[in-house]
Amino acid sequence: MVWNGRTEKRTFEGTLMNHFSSINRLESLNRLIPDLFIGKYKTVLYIGARNGGIDLGEQFRNAGYEISILEIFPPNVEYLKTVPWVKEVFLGDARTFSTNNKWDVVFWWHGPEHIQESEIPAALENLKKLANKLVITGNPWGRYEQESLYGNIHEIHISHLDYTLFESCGYTVECLGQKNVMGSNITSVLRL
């Protein structure tokens, strides 16, 4: 298929999704949630940040968010506790994390591919309990192999996901790039 950089809506297995040939993930978020970075929301639980890898952290900071982080790898937690603009850091797993706190936005960016596909619906339900307004996920579209990085086994890509999984969980979905091509992305949003 040739997408020619324009928005296309395609029916696939009975679903309708947006597809863009551009792989600009920030543009995808702005299309799906135009009010994400304009100061409407105040708090975010950012899941899966690491030393040198807080994707879109600058955008959240510039929008005035109070930023909390949930991270599963202890050395990353220790580093993230030193980042001056992060309010708090929790050591935990998106599948089981529980607290009385709630955030306007729960942002699980490039994390779903690190757990078994069968565990994702329950993990998304768990994250929904933590959110007041939005749950946002991002992950590769299809197969993208990745092994352990810097001694962190949680960096391994266990699942190779399709957008239909997120649609079946009630999310609005946009795919970027091409399935099974490095750099592709599924952006998924649930408004509460």
Confidence (pLDDT) at 2: 27
Is the Cβ–Cβ distance between 158 and 113 less than 8 Å? yes
Residue 71 has pLDDT above 70, yes or no: yes
* 7 vs 12: CA distance, rounded Å: 15
**For residue 43, how many other CB atoms are within 10 A of its CB?**
19
* Spatial distance between the Cα atoms of 174 and 17, rounded to a whole number of angstroms: 6
At residue 115 the predicted structure's pLDDT band, cuts being 50, 70 and 90, is confident
Helix (H) or strand (E) holding 133: strand 131-139
The percent of residues above 90 in pLDDT, for the chain, comes to 55
Count CB atoms within 10 A of the CB of residue 95. 16
Rounded Cα distance, 11 and 133, in Å:
28
Would the pLDDT of 18 be above 70?
no
Residues 6+ apart with CB under 8 A from 115: 94, 95, 123, 158, 159
Instruction: Say whether domain 41-180 belongs to CATH 3.50.50.60.
Output: no
Question: What confidence tens digit (pLDDT) does each residue in 78-109 have?
Answer: 999 999 999 999 999 999 999 999 999 999 98
Instruction: Check: CB of residue 68 under 8 Å from CB of residue 7.
Output: no
**pLDDT over 50 at 1, yes or no:** no
Domain ranges of the chain: 41-180
**Phi, psi angle pair for 23, to nearest 5°:** -110, 30
| Burial class (CB within 10 angstroms; exposed 0-12, middle 13-18, buried 19+) of 96 | exposed
**Each residue's pLDDT tens digit, 164-191:** 899 999 999 998 887 878 778 889 999 9
Residue 38 pLDDT exceeds 80: yes
**Torsion sign over Cα 158, 163, 164, 168:** positive
What is the C-alpha to C-alpha distance for residues 186 and 173, in angstroms, rounded to an integer?
7
- Written as six digits, the tokens of 18 are 């947006």
Q: Answer whether residue 144 shows pLDDT above 80.
A: no
